[in-house]
Amino acid sequence: MLVFNRFRLVPFAVPAFAIAALAGCNDEPTNVEEHEVAFVEVRLGTQAVRHDEGTTVTGGPLVIQRGANNITITFLDEDGEPITDIATEEDHTVVVQPGNALLTFAASSKLAGVLTGVNAGQSSLSIELKHGDHSDFGPKSIPVVVQ
């Protein structure tokens, strides 16, 4: 008769679990192909306005002055970690469109540009991450106030 002793397996289970947990840890930059985009964040100096994959906007509106304002755009995963390879992947494009004639936008790179406030008032900035001919995220509208 064969008797199974469950306690004999415990010393092996702990190291196997530790190895499995360490194998899941990844210090590499977050890859857009491995993580779904959950947020887009627009920064101007210390201001940060974030839009989730639904309808929630936090930190807004983005308040800019008339004239040139340098902004950066960051796409984040569900944990709020930046997805860093979007800037270098050729098959991803970022589409940025001002909501009305109060704003203009000129890209300086894939994830940055100059947002110019033409006249005082309220507007928005539409941001979309495209992969080939389809949208991976957005378009999402970031509220903007030009002072």
* Distance from C-alpha of 15 to C-alpha of 26, rounded to nearest angstrom: 19
Distances (CA, A) of 102 to 61, 96, 99, 113, 147: 15, 15, 8, 16, 11
pLDDT bucket at 32, cuts 50 / 70 / 90: low
Show the domain range for 39.
30-146
pLDDT tens track for 47-57: 999 999 999 99
Is 23 inside a domain boundary? no
Is 76 inside a domain boundary? yes
If one counts the domains in the chain, the total is 1
* pTM (predicted TM-score): 0.77
